[in-house]
């Protein structure tokens, strides 16, 4: 007899792409525990593209507005599904609590953020009290259609392909690696391997990232040219990806690519790249990680924090060599 007879479960996580990627470990755990379980996922439009080819998800629901009137009308449709369980992985705001309540599942489990755990483990632990036999996967997994990967196969024919994701959130200091470091790293890699470097990210990242294009003809920018799913396909054909603490870093690890995270203020134990083929580099300053939005040691107008400047290109270069081997 099935110990967990839940027929229909809704996982609820909106917003940041990296967070949605981190929830997929819970998704895999639930399906491994009960393959007949119908799992629905509620998220926003952009991250939904990463999930639409996922064979463990039966239906994706897309939330398009945060207004209370929209939430009320949308929850009526979700209520008709008669979910046995709603796993609310949203921060515990009043709006999110109301939304999950209006969904009307027989039972609702609410997420509690705990900085003692990695985000992947924290999301997974949310359901653990209800599903005692859950096992946590060692790696994340996203499903990218083969035809999308094939669009970039001509790039990989030249040899090593290395992904640079140089863009980071503008709301937090301590995430951006210095431009001259990216330039130095690019030159060292091309000199050693004659590799192809692809720049990934949104159109907002282009102004910063494309300042290294003059280093070599072997560097090509895809910033702002691809939707999130095609960008993931591009990341999937790379031999290694280097990135700050942002969504594409976590996508890279989830599509099985060796990923190196460059970390300043953010705690690696909480948001570092997850998986057996990942690595993270940070400063050895006593204040790291401070997890502050603004660095108290950075003067007004200075673009980079001391902790990010401590991660010298030769450290990253040596880490790349290890992963390529």
pTM, two decimals, is 0.93
Whether residue 112 sits in one domain with residue 187: no
CB-based burial of residue 16 (10 Å sphere; 0-12 exposed, 13-18 middle, 19+ buried)?
Answer: middle
List pLDDT tens digits, range 277-304.
Answer: 999 999 999 999 999 888 888 888 788 9
In this prediction, residues 149-169 reach a mean pLDDT of 88
Whether residue 157 sits in one domain with residue 188: yes
Whether residue 76 sits in one domain with residue 156: no
Token pair for 240: 């290694």
Whether residue 168 sits in one domain with residue 70: no
Token pair for 271: 């948001």
Residue 209: pLDDT band (50, 70, 90) is very high
* 3-state SS, one letter per residue, for 221-261: ECCCCCCHHHHHHHHHCCCEEEEECCHHHHHHHHCCCCEEE
Token pair for 137: 């996967």
Q: State the Cα–Cα distance between residues 62 and 50, nearest whole angstrom.
A: 13
Q: At what angle do helices 247-254 and 228-236 cross, to 10 degrees?
A: 50
Contacts of 254 (CB under 8 A, 6+ apart): 21, 24, 139, 140, 141, 142, 275
Task: Provide the domain limits for residue 98.
Answer: 8-127
Whether residue 162 sits in one domain with residue 94: no
- Three-class SS of residue 134? coil
**Is the confidence at residue 180, as pLDDT, over 90?**
yes
Give the mean pLDDT of the chain: 93
CATH number of the CATH domain containing 212 = 3.40.50.2000
Alpha helices in the chain (DSSP H): 17-33, 45-51, 68-79, 94-103, 119-127, 146-150, 153-156, 179-193, 203-209, 228-236, 247-254, 268-271, 306-309, 313-324
**Is the confidence at residue 157, as pLDDT, over 80?**
no
List pLDDT tens digits, range 52-110.
Answer: 999 999 999 999 998 999 999 999 999 999 999 999 999 888 888 899 999 999 999 99
Residue 4: pLDDT band (50, 70, 90) is low
In this prediction, residues 23-49 reach a mean pLDDT of 95
Whether residue 272 sits in one domain with residue 159: yes
Q: Is residue 179 part of a domain?
A: yes
Whether residue 118 sits in one domain with residue 73: yes
Whether residue 116 sits in one domain with residue 226: no
Number of domains present in the structure of the chain: 2
Query: Which whole-number Å values give the CA distances from 169 to 3, 166, 243, in the listed order?
Result: 43, 10, 12
Q: Is residue 143 part of a domain?
A: no
Res 153: pLDDT: 82
Single residue among 98, 127, 156 that ends a domain in this structure: 127
Whether residue 195 sits in one domain with residue 91: no
């Amino acid at each position: 007899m099935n110990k967990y007879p839940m027929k229909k479960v809704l996982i609820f996580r909106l917003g940041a792409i990296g967070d949605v990627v981190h929830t997929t470990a819970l998704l895999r755990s639930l399906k491994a525990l009960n393959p007949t379980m119908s799992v629905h996922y509620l998220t926003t439009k952009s991250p939904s593209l990463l999930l639409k080819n996922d064979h463990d998800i039966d239906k994706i629901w897309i939330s398009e507005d945060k207004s209370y009137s929209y939430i009320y009308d949308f929850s009526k449709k979700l209520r008709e599904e008669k979910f046995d369980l709603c796993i609310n992985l949203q921060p515990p705001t009043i709006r999110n609590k109301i939304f999950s309540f209006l969904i009307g599942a027989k039972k609702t489990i609410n997420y509690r953020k705990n900085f003692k755990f990695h985000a992947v483990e924290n999301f997974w632990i949310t359901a653990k009290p209800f599903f005692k036999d859950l096992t946590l996967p060692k790696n994340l997994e996203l499903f990218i259609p083969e035809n999308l990967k094939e669009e970039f196969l001509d790039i990989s024919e030249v040899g090593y392909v290395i992904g640079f994701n140089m863009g980071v959130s503008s709301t937090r200091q301590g995430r951006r690696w210095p431009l001259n470091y990216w330039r130095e790293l690019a030159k060292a890699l091309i000199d050693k391997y004659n590799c192809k470097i692809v720049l990934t990210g949104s159109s907002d990242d282009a102004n910063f990232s494309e300042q290294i294009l003059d280093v070599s003809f072997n560097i090509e920018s895809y910033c702002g040219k691809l939707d999130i799913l095609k960008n993931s396909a591009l990341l999937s054909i790379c031999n290694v990806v280097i990135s700050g603490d942002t969504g594409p870093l976590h996508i890279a690890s989830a599509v099985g690519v060796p990923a190196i995270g460059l970390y300043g203020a953010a705690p690696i134990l909480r948001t570092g790249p997850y998986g057996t083929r990942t690595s993270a580099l940070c400063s050895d300053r006593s204040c790291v990680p401070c997890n502050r939005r603004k660095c108290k040691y950075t003067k007004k107008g200075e673009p980079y924090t001391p902790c990010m400047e401590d991660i010298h290109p030769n450290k990253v270069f040596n880490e790349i060599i290890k992963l390529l081997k």
